[in-house]
Chains A and B, each alone.
Chain A
Amino acid sequence: MLLFIFLPIISVVTQSLHIEHEQVFVEVENCDFFGCKKSTMVDVEATAAIKAEKPLGRFVGLENYFNRSHFASSELAQAWRTTDSFGEFYDQVYNLPLYRAIIFTLVYTFTVTPLLIILGFIIAIAVNSLHQRLKGLVIFFSLLPMIVTPLIGSLILFWMIDSRGIIGSFLQQFFNDPDLSLKASTPLMWITLMVYGVWHSAPFAFVIFYAGLQTLPQDTLESAMIDGASRWERIRYVVIPHIAPLVTFVALIQLMDNFRVLEPIVGFNASAHATSLSSNILNDLGGESQLFASAATTSVITILGVVVLLSPVLYRTWRDWDRKV
């Protein structure tokens, strides 16, 4: 616990309070095949001397949290002052990287999680009523979306939904719109990502619920049937209460998972239309300009987000458990 959870969090928090030392620049002449040019370069020795004195960098307090890449306090205040309607204000907020990521992440989390629970439950009920011999095969195929690595799964779908791909051209035919492109429009891309999310995670909910269905109290079911309960009434009053604790469990795991949505955004090359907290972190760490402080700040915000998100579910679990004991 201490080594793998507490220390990394301390390190991330520390990092988020610092930025790099100021580099010392010098003007030099660079020559290559294409000729010579005056250019600015970092004076390595002078910069290294500053760094040696304070290796952590410059302490800036909460600046990283309130700059434009994160909570953007001054941009937000200005947007509030200069806009007349809520719509305009929303546009301004959506334009800021952190809020854009949070908005997508929350919409994704709260759309995908309930849908996958419902879909997983329906599949579990359907599979449970199949003939014993068919079950094994159907279970295997239902699990496939979860077995496929998320990145690979989304890459395959990326090609299928291309405007020249099999799903893309089918949709063009179906809606009779030759310019229809899932990848070009933000709402359609969001829907695609969420459909992918449900497709990928529903098997998880299915497996858990299916296991729960194996322990259904047969006596209660039979007495319900004798009392003349319809199939729907049996599901509503016997099955659902029985597997309710499992729903909490699946919701807990999937809220956490969906809040960290990353692979579909990378796989679908969707960063033009959707960014998430995790994709912002990846963006900061990748490439030539590695911004560790910015990534650390987004990480701290993500951790706080997970805590807030899970608090109702955790509270409920704790209360249930307390009651049972």
Chain B
Amino acid sequence: MNKVLRASLIAAGLMTSSVAAHAACGIEGGRVNIIGNEFPAIQTIGAGAVACAGDGVEITANLTKEHKELQVPGLSGDVAEYTVAIVANSSIVPLMSNGLIRPLDDLIAKHGGNFGDNQKITIGGKTMAIGFMANAQHLVYRKDILADAGIEPPTTYEEVLAASKMLKEKGAMKYPFGAAYAAGWGIAQEFNNMFIGMGGEFFKDSTPMPNVNNEKGIATLEMMKAMTTQMNPDFLTLNNNEINAEWKAGNVAMMQMWGSRAGPLLAGEETAPGVAENTVLAGPLTAGGGSIPATTLWWDGFTIATNISDEDAEASYLAMINAIDPSIMNDEVATQAVWMIEGYEPTPASAGVFATINAGAQPYPMIPYNTHLHSALGEELPDFFSGNESAEKTLADVEAAYMVKAREAGVAGL
């Protein structure tokens, strides 16, 4: 009831504000249809764009978890269904590979926009997207539990492991560490993080040949396996939502979590007493004595479809520029993300992501064939963690599975 009421109020608000906003957006005509993910920050952006509708300008947004499946088909075709795709550094790659998004330089030259040069995402010298927020996975810990046990806040995986063993021995907690190790995308992403932290390179000298079956890959798997001894034994089935629920229930003392999910953890709704006020967002962890943080940096930004009329492209650009204008910033919006928008004052919820950026973490690799390696990792790693096979065998399987997928998808030279 409450949600329905709120949604209708927002809708009503948008309808009345659209007339007033029309002049501000400067759209003369055309069609705007947005596809994107559905977390709160993206919803704010979507609502900002929809607010430009009115006087023959139709603006709609489809913000959904299934955005990855819909993006490529939705932007293909002679006239694309969606004119705008809100993407991250992984999901821009399939759009780029199929030529479905257009360079924005002409539109920027013609209409300008209230954003900084650092927000332009350029690929081969062309601006392909305009970014508005950053994201990363980083350590979150409970300061009360660590302080009670006399443990300094950890900065490396080795320290987390030692701290966790200590908490376990003292009986403070059964499974002190949490991370989204669910089979599939999640465990593959944790492998990516740790592998980067160990100083690994995913591909051999910028060829599409995989490069994970080596000492660094083995060290990565062994470190991850050591961490799983400190996790809920169901770890292969637990995603971010379940790990967050465990955190809120007070069952976990340290976890690896996304910055974009930090706001609700600090707000403390539906949380056991004493958890939220003791939740600290720390920086990234390192591993194996390396100095590169064992995590990846992510950005979110908007792109505009190739297969639409220039009028629609202009309308889309103007609506999106309006949505990421610095004037959207207020107290509530500020807590939703680490915004790359001018005038954003970091809130406590952003501490972890900023610490990760400052620690020199690497961005998630924007390479066309990386998606196949990610999916091969997601399928083959669980065998190692359920104790069925050795690290070498698993990594050999990962590379073999990757080769088949990449060849089928048309990666050259395989």
Contacting chain B: which of A106-114, A211-219, A249-257, A280-288?
Answer: A280-288
Q: Within 8 Å CB of B382, what residues of A? A: 271-273
B405 near A28 with CB under 8 A, answer no
Binary interface encoding of chain B residues 58-84 relative to chain A, with 1 for a CB under 8 A from any of its CBs, else 0: 000000000011001000000000000
Given contacts A33-B119, A68-B400, contact A293 B368 (CB under 8 A): no
Given contacts A26-B124, A34-B363, contact A291 B409 (CB under 8 A): yes
Of chain A, the residue at the smallest CB distance from B412 is A22
* A45 interfacial by beta-carbon distance below 8 Å: yes
Of chain A, the residue at the smallest CB distance from B121 is A32
Give A233-261 interface residues, CB cut-off 8 Å to B: none
Q: Within 8 Å CB of A27, what residues of B? A: 206
B386 near A272 with CB under 8 A, answer yes
A272 near B97 with CB under 8 A, answer no
B408 near A20 with CB under 8 A, answer yes
A95 near B237 with CB under 8 A, answer no
Within the assembled complex, what's the spacing in Å between the Cα atoms of A187 and B408?
33
B404 near A33 with CB under 8 A, answer no
B118 near A163 with CB under 8 A, answer no
Contacting chain A: which of B85-93, B143-151, B314-322?
Answer: B85-93
Given contacts A33-B118, A33-B299, contact A272 B366 (CB under 8 A): no
A288 near B124 with CB under 8 A, answer no
Binary interface encoding of chain A residues 180-212 relative to chain B, with 1 for a CB under 8 A from any of its CBs, else 0: 010111100000000000000000000000000
A29 near B125 with CB under 8 A, answer yes
B405 near A41 with CB under 8 A, answer no
Q: Select which of B182, B363, B374, B409 is within 8 A of A37 by beta carbon.
A: B363
Given contacts A28-B124, A289-B405, contact A21 B410 (CB under 8 A): yes
Contacting chain A: which of B3-11, B228-236, B265-273?
Answer: B228-236
B379 near A42 with CB under 8 A, answer no
* A40 interfacial by beta-carbon distance below 8 Å: yes
Give B365-414 interface residues, CB cut-off 8 Å to A: 365-368, 371-372, 374-375, 379, 382-383, 385-386, 388-389, 393, 397, 400-401, 403-405, 407-413
Q: Within 8 Å CB of B206, what residues of A? A: 27, 38, 40
A286 near B182 with CB under 8 A, answer no
Q: Within 8 Å CB of A47, what residues of B? A: 97, 410
A181 near B340 with CB under 8 A, answer no
Within the assembled complex, what's the spacing in Å between the Cα atoms of A183 and B234?
5
B375 near A287 with CB under 8 A, answer yes
A69 near B368 with CB under 8 A, answer no
Q: Within 8 Å CB of B125, what residues of A? A: 28-29
Measured CB to CB, the closest approach of chain A to B85, in angstroms, equals 13
Q: Select which of A33, A38, A75, A291 is within 8 A of B134 by beta carbon.
A: A33
* A227 interfacial by beta-carbon distance below 8 Å: no
Q: Select which of B99, B124, B208, B367 is within 8 A of A29 by beta carbon.
A: B124
B94 near A163 with CB under 8 A, answer no
* B12 interfacial by beta-carbon distance below 8 Å: no
Given contacts A32-B299, A288-B93, contact A163 B233 (CB under 8 A): yes
A25 near B98 with CB under 8 A, answer no
B366 near A19 with CB under 8 A, answer no
* B212 interfacial by beta-carbon distance below 8 Å: no
B412 near A24 with CB under 8 A, answer yes
Measured CB to CB, the closest approach of chain A to B383, in angstroms, equals 7
Q: Select which of B131, B393, B401 is within 8 A of A68 by beta carbon.
A: B401
Q: Within 8 Å CB of A34, what residues of B? A: 134, 297, 299, 357, 362-363
* B184 interfacial by beta-carbon distance below 8 Å: yes
Q: Within 8 Å CB of B90, what residues of A? A: 288
A163 near B363 with CB under 8 A, answer no
Q: Within 8 Å CB of A291, what residues of B? A: 405, 408-409
Give A1-47 interface residues, CB cut-off 8 Å to B: 19-35, 37-42, 44-45, 47
Listed residue (A29, A48, A179, A269) with the most chain B CB atoms within 10 angstroms of its CB: A269
* A268 interfacial by beta-carbon distance below 8 Å: yes
Within the assembled complex, what's the spacing in Å between the Cα atoms of A48 and B410?
12
A186 near B233 with CB under 8 A, answer no
B182 near A31 with CB under 8 A, answer no
Binary interface encoding of chain A residues 68-82 relative to chain B, with 1 for a CB under 8 A from any of its CBs, else 0: 110000010000000
A269 near B237 with CB under 8 A, answer yes
B410 near A19 with CB under 8 A, answer yes
Within the assembled complex, what's the spacing in Å between the Cα atoms of A42 and B94?
9
* B258 interfacial by beta-carbon distance below 8 Å: no
Q: Select which of B238, B299, B409 is within 8 A of A289 by beta carbon.
A: B409
B234 near A69 with CB under 8 A, answer no
Of chain A, the residue at the smallest CB distance from B363 is A34
Within the assembled complex, what's the spacing in Å between the Cα atoms of A32 and B405?
29
Measured CB to CB, the closest approach of chain B to A186, in angstroms, equals 6
Given contacts A97-B401, A273-B386, contact A41 B96 (CB under 8 A): yes
Within the assembled complex, what's the spacing in Å between the Cα atoms of A3 and B93?
36
Within the assembled complex, what's the spacing in Å between the Cα atoms of A24 and B99?
13
Of chain A, the residue at the smallest CB distance from B93 is A288
Measured CB to CB, the closest approach of chain B to A301, in angstroms, equals 15
A44 near B409 with CB under 8 A, answer no
B357 near A39 with CB under 8 A, answer no
Within the assembled complex, what's the spacing in Å between the Cα atoms of A239 and B187?
53
Given contacts A41-B96, A184-B233, A186-B386, contact A19 B124 (CB under 8 A): no
5 A-B residue pairs with CB within 8 Å: A32-B121, A164-B251, A283-B379, A287-B371, A289-B405
Of all A-B residue pairs in the complex, the 5 with the closest CB atoms, nearest first, are: A20-B410, A28-B124, A44-B99, A272-B382, A272-B183
Name 8 extra pairs, CB < 8 A, besides A27-B206, A31-B122, A186-B388.
A23-B412, A30-B123, A68-B400, A68-B401, A163-B234, A185-B386, A287-B68, A288-B375
Task: Please report A residues at the B interface, Cβ cutoff 8 Å.
Answer: 19-35, 37-42, 44-45, 47-48, 57-58, 64, 67-69, 75, 95, 97, 158, 162-164, 179, 181, 183-186, 268-273, 283, 286-291, 293-294
